């Protein structure tokens, strides 16, 4: 094994980071290059990602997003494990293990959403898992998912069928899209406080958190905010492979069935092809979906405090807005 150096992101020249991102994060290299300070919330609590370097060349990267949690009444600082990568020619040589060990020294409480391959690696470091999380897809434009109709591009028929069954959204005066989210931050914080009264473990989403996550978001133009009876739902809308996708990234409540029903009407009228969401099934609103496709998401965590591990094994209401699930693969 060659001599290596572990460095913080701030200790590396931007040109070298860009060169590495172009090699390993091809699906999101431009977003990282322009916005990595935001993506990793660099500077919060003096925490930042690290890299491993050999002969003045970056060969590995471990990202993080710091977050504060309330665990059984106590504030705990945690970090999301994101964007872990080793250059192909250096894989299988122990550098990934070295980088993971160094990353785990940054903060005593570590959390991640990961695939099954990453989970196997984390379990070697005594990480625990919670299998209550899943991703859900709810088709809206069924004609995009039926091959024979999709091939003939019969979208006018789709519009006519929609018109037979869909009541115009503007008839629902209590349902509205919010245009200025800055004025709603205090309302979002109050909804969070109300929601978390009976939760022993939850994310602390305060004014600073919403300021970073929403107001300073580099793709803020893609975010849509909906309100019904004081509850708020936040979605990220974008196009990918000729499909218009709505990612539901934040619910102030899973129990407002009418809000979700009206949202689906809005999607029909605005040519959304499908809705994507990620939820803990213990808090899930899936009972409100008319038809959906579901896939499990692995949530893994590490702490040397067993009492904290026990809380993470049960119920915690992480949403897509919390980690990088929202913006990782736009």
The pLDDT of residue 7 is above 90: yes
Same-domain pairing of 164 and 258:
yes
Buried b (16+ CB within 10 A) or exposed e, 26-61: eebeebbeebbebbbbbebeebbbbbbbbeeebbbb
Same-domain pairing of 231 and 175:
yes
**Model pLDDT, residue 153:** 46
Which of 234-243, 287-296, 320-329 has the highest mean predicted lDDT (pLDDT)? 234-243
What CATH number is attached to the domain comprising 14? 3.40.630.30
Same-domain pairing of 163 and 60:
no
Same-domain pairing of 284 and 139:
yes
Same-domain pairing of 99 and 159:
no
The pLDDT of residue 214 is above 70: yes
Q: Are strands 74-86 and 110-114 parallel, antiparallel or unpaired?
A: parallel
Does the residue 245 lie in any domain?
A: yes
Question: 72: closest CA among 309, 260, 265, 326?
Answer: 309
DSSP 66-97: EEEEEETTEEEEEEEEEEEEE-GGGTTTTHHH
Same-domain pairing of 91 and 138:
no
Same-domain pairing of 140 and 66:
no
Total Cβ atoms within 10 A of residue 11: 12
Does the residue 307 lie in any domain?
A: no
Does the residue 27 lie in any domain?
A: yes
What distance in Å separates the CA atoms of residue 248 and residue 85, rounded to the nearest whole number? Answer: 27
Range of the domain at 50: 5-107
Q: Which residues pair with 8 in a beta bridge?
A: 50
Same-domain pairing of 81 and 209:
no
DSSP 280-311: ETTT--GGG-SS-EEEE-EEEEE-S-HHHHHH
Does the residue 69 lie in any domain?
A: yes
Does the residue 204 lie in any domain?
A: yes
Q: How many domains does the chain have?
A: 2
Same-domain pairing of 163 and 218:
yes
Where is average pLDDT lowest: 136-140, 289-293, 297-301? 289-293
Total Cβ atoms within 10 A of residue 2: 9
Does the residue 317 lie in any domain?
A: no
Same-domain pairing of 146 and 276:
yes
Same-domain pairing of 77 and 191:
no
**Model pLDDT, residue 102:** 96
Does the residue 197 lie in any domain?
A: yes
Q: Are strands 57-71 and 201-203 parallel, antiparallel or unpaired?
A: antiparallel
């Amino acid at each position: 094994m060659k001599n290596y150096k572990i460095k913080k992101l701030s200790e590396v020249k931007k040109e070298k980071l860009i060169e590495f991102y172009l090699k390993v994060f091809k699906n999101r290299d431009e977003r990282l290059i322009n916005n990595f300070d935001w993506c990793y919330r660099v500077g919060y609590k003096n925490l930042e990602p690290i890299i491993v370097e050999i002969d003045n060349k970056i060969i590995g990267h471990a990202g993080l997003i710091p977050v504060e949690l309330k665990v059984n009444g106590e504030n705990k600082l945690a970090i999301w494990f994101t964007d872990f990568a080793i250059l192909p020619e250096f894989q299988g040589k122990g550098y990934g293990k070295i980088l993971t060990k160094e990353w785990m020294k940054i903060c005593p409480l570590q959390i991640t959403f990961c695939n099954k391959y990453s989970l196997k690696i984390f379990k070697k470091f005594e990480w625990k898992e919670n299998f209550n999380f899943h991703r859900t897809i709810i088709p809206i434009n069924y004609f995009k998912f039926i091959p024979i109709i999709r091939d003939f591009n019969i979208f006018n028929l789709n519009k006519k069928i929609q018109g037979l069954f869909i009541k115009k959204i503007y008839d629902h005066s209590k349902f509205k899209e919010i245009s200025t989210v800055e004025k709603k931050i205090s309302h979002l914080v109050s909804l969070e406080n109300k929601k978390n009264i009976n939760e022993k473990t939850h994310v602390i989403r305060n004014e600073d958190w919403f300021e970073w996550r929403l107001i300073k978001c580099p793709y803020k133009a893609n975010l849509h905010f909906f309100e019904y009876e004081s509850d708020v739902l936040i979605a990220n809308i974008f196009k990918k492979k000729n499909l218009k996708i709505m990612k539901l990234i934040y619910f102030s409540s899973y129990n407002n069935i009418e809000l979700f029903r009206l949202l689906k009407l809005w999607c029909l009228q605005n040519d959304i092809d499908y809705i994507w969401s990620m939820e803990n099934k213990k808090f899930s609103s899936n009972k409100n979906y008319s038809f959906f496709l579901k896939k499990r998401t692995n949530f893994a965590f590490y702490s040397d405090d067993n009492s904290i591990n026990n809380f993470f094994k049960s119920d915690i209401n992480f949403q897509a807005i919390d980690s990088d699930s929202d913006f990782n693969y736009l």
